[in-house]
Amino acid sequence: AITYKGFELKPAVEHLRESGRWSTRALITKHHANEVREKFVSAANTFADKAEAEQHSLEFAKQVVDGKH
């Protein structure tokens, strides 16, 4: 997990059995006073390599935090 602009971003990729590829998916967590807000975000991109999928998932989560998605 990484911290980006006060949000915790964690890859949450899944192995897709049908294609054998890895999904683009991440968990965005924001801690407010006495509550924690969590949101899963995903994109249609898939990758053959798990590490590549995780890296892309973090970049996608940053774009969501920045309001680009």
0.75 cut: is pTM over it?
Answer: yes
Model confidence over 8-63: pLDDT tens digits?
Answer: 999 999 999 999 999 999 999 999 889 999 999 999 999 999 999 999 999 999 99
Predicted pLDDT of residue 29? 98
Q: Given a cut of 90, is residue 69 above it in pLDDT?
A: no
Q: What is the pLDDT of residue 53?
A: 98
pLDDT one-digit tens code per residue, 32-41: 889 999 999 9
Buried b (16+ CB within 10 A) or exposed e, 3-26: eeeebbbbbbbeeeeeeebbbbbb
Q: Return d(Cα 48, Cα 31) in angstroms, integer.
A: 33
Could you tell me if 58 and 26 are in contact, meaning their C-beta atoms sit under 8 angstroms apart?
yes
